[in-house]
Amino acid sequence: MSDELTDVLVMGLPTSAAAAREHVDALLRAQFFSGNEGIRDDIVWADALLVTSELVTNACRHGGGLTGFSAKIHGDELILSVADASTEFPVARPCPPGQYTVGGYGWPMVSRLAKSLVVISTATGKRIEAVVPLM
């Protein structure tokens, strides 16, 4: 893989997390994975799609709607940018040991899978930039 930056072509915003995953899947297939590397690729691929899905789902569910999306490959990293209409930054909700809740697991999971995770205030809400390692 070269160090060149490659964008996925997005015709308008994805309408759902599934549509965003399809864009990222197409980018990975076209620009990164050859399909011959085996199980490591499968796990890394799943991580990339999971982070994409969580960020877009949270933007739609908690962020007032998706307002921006891009996916790029730079070297051996997937760079995701997901913007929404909310000024509220995501937070991990603490859960006492032994008590389980519905929801609240996505942001901590994204934080573990991403090499870098930055939340940026914008004039219309916020943008989350995640760097997901592909190796």
User: How confident is the model over 61-110, as pLDDT tens digits?
Assistant: 999 999 999 999 999 999 999 999 999 999 887 777 887 777 778 999 99
CA distances from 13 to 20, 44, 46, 108, 115 (A): 8, 24, 22, 25, 25
Lowest mean pLDDT segment, chosen from 6-10, 36-40, 100-104: 6-10
pTM (2 d.p.): 0.85
User: How confident is the model over 41-52, as pLDDT tens digits?
Assistant: 789 999 999 999
Domains of the chain, start order: 5-91+104-133 (3.30.565.10)
